Amino acid sequence: MSKRGRFLLIVLSLCLSLISTGCGLQDLLGKKNKSSSTSNGGGESKTVIAVSLNEEDPNKLLIVKGIEDMAKKEKVDIKYMEKSEKEKDSPLKGAKLLIYQGGDESLLKSAEADEIPILALGQMPSGIKLEGIITSDQGKAGEIMAQTIVSKVAEGQIVILQGDSSESGSQELIAGNKAVFSKYPKLTTHTIVSAPGSEATARLGLAEFLAKNPDKVQGVLAHTEKLAAQASGVLKQAQLDKKIILVGGQASVSSLERMSTGAQVGDVDTSPYLQGVNAYQWAQKIIKKQSLDVNNTVTSERGEIPAKIIQVKAVTPDNIAVIQKSYTLTMKSAEQDKKEKEEKKKKDQKGDQAEGKDKEQGGSKKEEGQADDKKTQGGDKQESPLPAGVEKVTERIKTETTREYLDAQGKVIGTEKTVNEQVKTVPPEMLKQQQTEKAKDEKSEGGQEEKKENKE
């Protein structure tokens, strides 16, 4: 067979192979182009992690700070789920994982439907498949609260203000409280349960119990910061804040301030910043399918859940100064980060609006310019007529320039404004020429009118 014949046979075989496999040459080229664009980095996009936090958590910003500080080191976008957020598409679109502490519970079902892994933070939602949970040691926190009480009193009544009794963390706090109190038979406890958002009910219940049991209540345990704030108000109003011990179970900037003034005796540091850090780290490991640094497990309706338990510690008069300083500085830093993020968002939005406006103005100016060109070509003059008696013409030009100084991250660290104003005099030759042209135009118009009258 000749060389030409062999070549035609090879081409024919290749075509038959493409047809039989359902592939075309364009498909092969398309796949090649697609893979090359990804490898070049053009198709690379940041990993998106969705985060839904409890809006009522007094330490929400500290958790956010922990997450954000870790995310800054990597190409990761953190998308916070807000209750007011309304999107045409799913709010979880593009997310690789959902960190869920609270908020819109429908997000949990949406994540399950879209096969997005869910990492619980603080509380374990029921009926949901979880990849893991990050939480503070709630049982230990309950023990610390009770130990603070028994270090001050050994008999009498103790009122426990419990949060949502259906939450696993709340149950662990109660178990920790009672594990300690059970060793003191002369101490009796009375529990007031309040559902989320009904802390005012707990306030009323505490006030009524104090009124019915005068001089019997020795201490109050408040599981959350909101409940501790309510209890503090009741004790002050009844003038019992110096007689009855108040102990909180969720240290925050507000509760630490009460401790520093003597309105509260003890608290529990649950390390919210570390909760955020660990939540981010686990989220990344789950996304990358890496092994988790599990130090415990939590039993759920669907079996054992891998858990990372964050250690807690007692806040006492001995360490209050150090812990309060840490919380305050971290909170200020978190608030500053939030402010800068909001300002950047507004600046970007203004930039987009200005760009759109410039495009509209550019198109308008282009149309105006084209119209002017047509008028000029048609012989129409657009010069403004000079008023009678003009001997001198000046032009005043004022410009304002704003200069911004930015650091490496694009943050504005300084601004400078300069104003330049110039006054120019129109040259006498140009003024004389305009006056001469105006006179010629008037004379020409007058001559035409005279000819018209003579014809008539």
**69 beta partners:** none
- pLDDT at site 368: 57
Residue 373: pLDDT band (50, 70, 90) is low
d(CA 434, CA 453): 29
Is there a contact between 412 and 351 (Cβ–Cβ < 8 Å)? no
Query: Is the pLDDT confidence value at 323 over 70?
Result: yes
Six-digit token string for 393: 């013409």
* pLDDT level of residue 26 (50, 70, 90 thresholds): very low
Confidence at 65, pLDDT banded by 50, 70, 90: very high
Query: DSSP letter at 383?
Result: P
Model pLDDT, residue 455: 52
Structure tokens at 263: 């309105």
Q: What are the strands of the beta sheet with 217-222, ordered from one edge?
A: 187-193, 156-162, 217-222, 245-248
DSSP assignment of 275-306 equals HHHHHHHHHHHHHTTPPP---EEEEETTEEEE
For residue 287, give Cα distances in angstroms to 78, 316, 422: 14, 40, 62
**Higher pLDDT residue, 64 or 378?**
64
**What are the distances in angstroms from CA 322 to CA 69, 97, 258, 261, 327?**
22, 35, 15, 15, 9
Q: What is the pLDDT of residue 48?
A: 95
More confident residue, 196 or 6: 196
Q: Percent of the chain having pLDDT more than 70?
A: 67
Amino acid identity, position 162: Q
Q: How far apart are CA 177 and CA 167, in angstroms?
A: 16
Q: How far apart are CA 372 and CA 191, in angstroms?
A: 84
pLDDT digits (tens, 9 = 90+) for 199-232: 788 899 999 999 999 899 999 999 999 999 999 9
Token pair 């990372």 is at which residue? Answer: 308
Query: Alpha-carbon distance 200 to 234, whole Å?
Result: 11
CB burial class (10 A; 0-12, 13-18, 19+) of residue 182? exposed
Residue written as tokens 């007058």? Answer: 446
Work out the pLDDT band at 314, boundaries 50, 70, 90.
Answer: very high
Give pLDDT tens digits for 229-258.
Answer: 999 999 999 999 999 999 999 999 999 999
- Do 266 and 260 contact (CB within 8 A), yes or no? no
Q: Where are the domains of the chain?
A: 47-83+90-136+275-311, 138-269, 389-436
Q: Which candidate, 197, 236, 189, places its Cα nearest to that of 213?
A: 189
Distances 282 to 49, 117, 200, 291, 427 between C-alpha atoms, Å: 11, 11, 36, 9, 76
pLDDT of residue 303: 85
pLDDT digits (tens, 9 = 90+) for 143-183: 999 999 999 998 999 999 998 888 888 999 999 999 999 99
pLDDT in tens, 431-442: 666 666 666 666
Non-local CB neighbours of 197 within 8 Å, separated by 6+ positions:
56
Highest mean pLDDT among 5-9, 48-52, 301-305, 447-451: 48-52
Strands, DSSP E only, in 101-252?
118-121, 132-136, 156-162, 187-193, 217-222, 245-248
CA dist 243 and 11 (Å) reads 98
Consecutive H or E run containing 13: helix 3-21
Q: Give CATH superfamily name and number for 138-269.
A: Response regulator (3.40.50.2300)
The predicted pLDDT at position 148 comes to 97
What is the reported pTM?
Answer: 0.68
> Which pLDDT does position 41 carry in this prediction?
42
Closest CA to 79 of 94, 89, 63, 101: 94
How far, in Å, CA of 449 to CA of 454, rounded? 9
**Between 22 and 230, whose confidence is greater?**
230
pLDDT at 357 over 70: no
Instruction: Write out the two tokens for 194.
Output: 């309040």
Higher pLDDT among residues 151 and 447, named by residue:
151
5/419 Cα distance (integer angstroms)? 82
Neighbours of 333 (CB within 10 A): 15
More confident residue, 223 or 46: 223
Amino acid 376: pLDDT: 46
Least confident of 44-53, 180-189, 217-226, 266-275: 44-53
Measured CA distances, 351 to 338, 346, 348, 414, 442 (Å): 20, 8, 5, 19, 50
Residue 417: pLDDT above 60? Answer: yes
For residues 16-33, average pLDDT:
42
Give the CATH number of domain 47-83+90-136+275-311; options: 3.40.190.10, 3.40.50.300, 3.40.30.10, 3.40.50.2300: 3.40.50.2300
Average pLDDT, the chain: 81
Q: Is the pLDDT of residue 33 over 50?
A: no
Closest CA to 149 of 233, 255, 264, 250: 264
Residue with the larger pLDDT of the pair 254 and 448 = 254
Same fold, 47-83+90-136+275-311 and 138-269: yes
- In this prediction, residues 283-304 reach a mean pLDDT of 91
Q: Are the C-beta atoms of residues 136 and 312 closer than 8 Å to each other?
A: yes
Pairing of strands 394-406, 47-52: unpaired
**What pLDDT was estimated at residue 341?**
85
